Structure 1
Amino acid sequence: MLITLPINELKPGMYIERVSRQAQGASIKIKTRGMVREPAIIERLAKEGVQELIIDFAQSDVSIPKHLIPAKPSAHKPVNGASQSVRTDRPKLGERDFVLAPLEQEFLIASTCYDQSLGKIRAMYHDLTSGMQVNMSLLSDIADAIVDSVFRNPDAMAALTLLRDQSSYTWRHMLNCAILCAIFARYLGYEINKVRQMALAALLHDIGLAKVPQGILSKPGKLTDIEVKAVRKHVALGLGMLKGQKHITSMMLEMVVNHHERLDGSGYPRGISADKLSREARVLSIVDVYAAMIADKPYKKGEDPISALRYLLSQRELFDQALVQRFIKCVGIHPVGTLVQLTNERLAMVIQGNEDNPIKPKVRVFYNTMHRHHITTKDIDLSLNKDEIKIVASTDGSQFDLNLARLLKEHLLP
């Protein structure tokens, strides 16, 4: 997340992407980018006439400045649950601490949280492959930050789960599952303490993959039977890594152990059936499959959300269909952040779902697909428009040489 800051707000621990403004006539030679390690660097930059800088908070060691984060509200919009946070160095957030924040406002916080969390999970995952233990404190903090954002506005984090990168699939999948599990659990009315636990369980569900030969996970072709067995061992390996850890509850362990089990008993590792599967494990199994299907993997390009939802609906013997129906209403047929092609030869981004009429969300039109150029943005509620504009299909934007990550920042940042 790149944010412009004046020199007087620069702090040690911030990562400078570039200088954006200097005093007239100033001439300074500094690195294009780099971490600010000490106050002396800030003093030198100011002395040399630097007035404004672009800071990359995804690579910084400090959080986004407090004045860019929404202040704690005095009024509140009711949400389900009471708070219990793992961290002890910050106030515990309860239901009265949350109001529905504007999407643009929350996306600024959520995208910074997402980028930083992804980097921390990647580093921890590599540590695990080297034999180190799970850093539960770090993962608990990440899960808490996700849940806090989801309770302020679930659409902000949800949009980030649409980003694709096959080179970072394993740890991105862990993060995306935590986000989607938190969003779905909130939607189902779980109290916030349970939501935090479920998000952390989702963050941990594939932790055992760090003990699986990484060459198998990155293999571009079909796995052999022996390789499939090796991958399936990740459940037992993960359980072994988590037993006895702090912050782990029996519900969380059950979710981790059973996320690959299926209602008809065809899953693994134990082949247990519906009567042995908790509602929370069923939630995670749905989220896990959905997140995996829409993501780019080393061996396969991700599918669009509609295809993933259709698959879940078609597998009546495998997934709890009552929960699948509610999951569809929760994330939407066209999730916020999705790029869609319209009948008027325009490309738009979904900016608000429509639970009453899922095929007609609110969209922001920004691109002419016939002439292949950007146009002046315009927000349209497809359920109200008189021209009867409809969605033809969803797209990742690549066929128009568009980058979804860049578009999300352009259209969802304030």
Structure 2
Amino acid sequence: MLKQIPVTGLRLGMYVHELSDLRPDHSYWTNSFLLTHESDLQRIRNAGITELWIDTSRGLDIPPEPALAPPARACEPCAMEEEISYARELCSRSKAAVVRVFSDVRMGRIAEQEEIGNLVEDISDSLARHPDALLSLARLKTCDEYTYMHSVAVCGLMIGLARQLALPDSLIKEAGMAGLLHDVGKLAISSGILGKRGKLSDEEFAIVRRHPELGYRLLSESKHFSPRVLDVCLHHHERFDGSGYPDKLAGSQISLFARMGAICDVYDAITSNRPYKPAWSPAESISRMAGWTGHFDEKVFQAFVKCVGIYPVGSLVRLESGNLGIVMEQNKASLLTPKVKVFYSALCKMPIAHTLLDLSTLVGQDRIISRECAKNWGFKNLDHLWSGAPESVTP
């Protein structure tokens, strides 16, 4: 694999494919070679070359960047902006880990239990330091990485919901593992169907509906996963009114973990961009889910809302003052008064100076009066306001 690197990153053992910025008097360099001598390394560094191409299939690659250290002790609460940098690195690392785990399961190999356990623990610790950072970042995924990052997101949501339900620590970890592995059956379905841009045919949809059973079979063969983890994999598409699949279970026939999994799976799915459907906003998703009679256990769903908020992080809202803002952070004491960063005047239809408002301190002065659709205002991407991505929000 060819990779362009700065000359400062060149190391002995790398295979130099091509040197950039060569002057005529540098013609003594061959086109490509394995770098084995310190003298050659110094000559390249002293030649005024800024970048070069290496071939990682024929020599060493650049070493991976060291993982960021957590911003605080494992479970010590910290500020949102402090946790979000670590959570961003954790999302990247988690995706790579899930790819490896899924590959092991698909090939019939025993997945590294220690790696799965450590990943779930890292996600759990991040949520303990700040519950909004990782859950919000995990929602920001491309269509191509959906299957893997969806698993990371559902893992986090299951952990958060388990804590909201006051489950013991052992079950919280098990809930996270169930969320991480709930969609492993999709690995047995062709990428052509999973990545199809248009509506699935009846035949294709029938194939997709088999993924809970396929996943259950894969996990059962390993004999290393608990009955609860297997149950979530098999029954996360059951509905409380009995209209789900594959077994049309209803009410108390559906385990608590599977009822939790159904909510977490749907929420992350509809708030994510998928090949066949653009994402709904977090607040719109909560509102729509609340209106789906018969889908979810009502008590578990109410606990889920307390976990992510009525206006989750990233929601576009209009305030009574006439300003538009993006929800930055939840106020666990009151779901109606989160922290909001205002950036646009709906009255003047123009951007305003970004100001962070803690609505819990402005009761009687300002409040959220509606959720808004970014598309209706022409905003391209609002996530940079809370995540730091360099995007413009000017219509």
TM-score (norm 1): 0.71
C-alpha displacement at 1:111, in angstroms?
Answer: 1.1
Q: Paired residue for 1:409?
A: 388
Aligned residue-pair number? 342
C-alpha displacement at 1:167, in angstroms?
Answer: 3.1
* 1:196 equivalent among 173, 185, 189: 173
Partners of 2:369 and 2:381 lie apart in 1 by 18
Q: Is the 8 A contact 2:104 2:111 kept in 1?
A: no
Q: Paired residue for 1:307?
A: 284
Q: Among the aligned pairs, what percent are the same residue? A: 30
Q: Paired residue for 1:61?
A: 64
Determine helix, strand or coil for the equivalent of 1:166: coil
Partners of 1:324 and 1:145 lie apart in 2 by 25
Determine helix, strand or coil for the equivalent of 2:378: helix
TM-score (norm 2): 0.74
Partners of 2:123 and 2:384 lie apart in 1 by 19
* 1:98 equivalent among 75, 98, 101: 75
1:399 counterpart = 2:371: no
Larger relative contact order (C-alpha < 8 A, sep ≥ 6)? 1
Partners of 2:181 and 2:386 lie apart in 1 by 30
Q: Paired residue for 1:318?
A: 295
Q: Paired residue for 2:184?
A: 207
Determine helix, strand or coil for the equivalent of 1:142: helix
Q: Deviations over 1:223-261 (max 9, x none)?
A: 222111111111111112111436511111111111111
C-alpha displacement at 1:379, in angstroms?
Answer: 2.1
Q: Is the 8 A contact 1:236 1:257 kept in 2?
A: yes
Partners of 2:125 and 2:42 lie apart in 1 by 38
Q: Deviations over 1:368-400 (max 9, x none)?
A: 565654x54322122332642535424558923
C-alpha displacement at 1:356, in angstroms?
Answer: 4.6
1:166 counterpart = 2:143: yes
1:254 counterpart = 2:231: yes
* 2:368 equivalent among 373, 390, 405: 390
Partners of 2:356 and 2:131 lie apart in 1 by 20
Q: Paired residue for 1:283?
A: 260
C-alpha RMSD of the superposition:
3.7
Partners of 1:326 and 1:311 lie apart in 2 by 16
Q: Is the 8 A contact 1:163 1:405 kept in 2?
A: no
Partners of 1:295 and 1:221 lie apart in 2 by 16
Q: Is the 8 A contact 2:91 2:138 kept in 1?
A: no
Distance 1:201 1:126, change over 3 A: same
Q: Is the 8 A contact 1:136 1:247 kept in 2?
A: no
Structure 1 portions without partners, runs of 5+: 1-10, 13-36, 50-58, 73-96
Partners of 2:77 and 2:100 lie apart in 1 by 33
Distance 1:163 1:343, change over 3 A: farther
C-alpha displacement at 1:198, in angstroms?
Answer: 1.0
Determine helix, strand or coil for the equivalent of 2:279: coil
Which structure's CA Rg is the greater one? 2
Distance 1:346 1:178, change over 3 A: same
Structure 2 portions without partners, runs of 5+: 1-10, 13-34, 49-61, 391-395
Compare 271-280 and 319-328 and name the one that shifted more.
271-280
Compare 337-346 and 274-283 and name the one that shifted more.
337-346
Distance 1:410 1:229, change over 3 A: closer
Letter in 2 for 1:61: P
Q: Deviations over 1:350-371 (max 9, x none)?
A: 2332345423212123455656
Partners of 1:311 and 1:337 lie apart in 2 by 17
Letter in 2 for 1:393: R
Q: Is the 8 A contact 2:101 2:116 kept in 1?
A: no
Partners of 1:304 and 1:192 lie apart in 2 by 31
Q: Paired residue for 1:140?
A: 117
Partners of 1:60 and 1:178 lie apart in 2 by 29
Letter in 2 for 1:142: L
Q: Is the 8 A contact 2:105 2:218 kept in 1?
A: no
Distance 1:317 1:395, change over 3 A: closer
* 1:295 equivalent among 228, 247, 272: 272
Q: Paired residue for 2:51?
A: none
C-alpha displacement at 1:127, in angstroms?
Answer: 7.7
Q: Deviations over 1:9-36 (max 9, x none)?
A: xx99xxxxxxxxxxxxxxxxxxxxxxxx
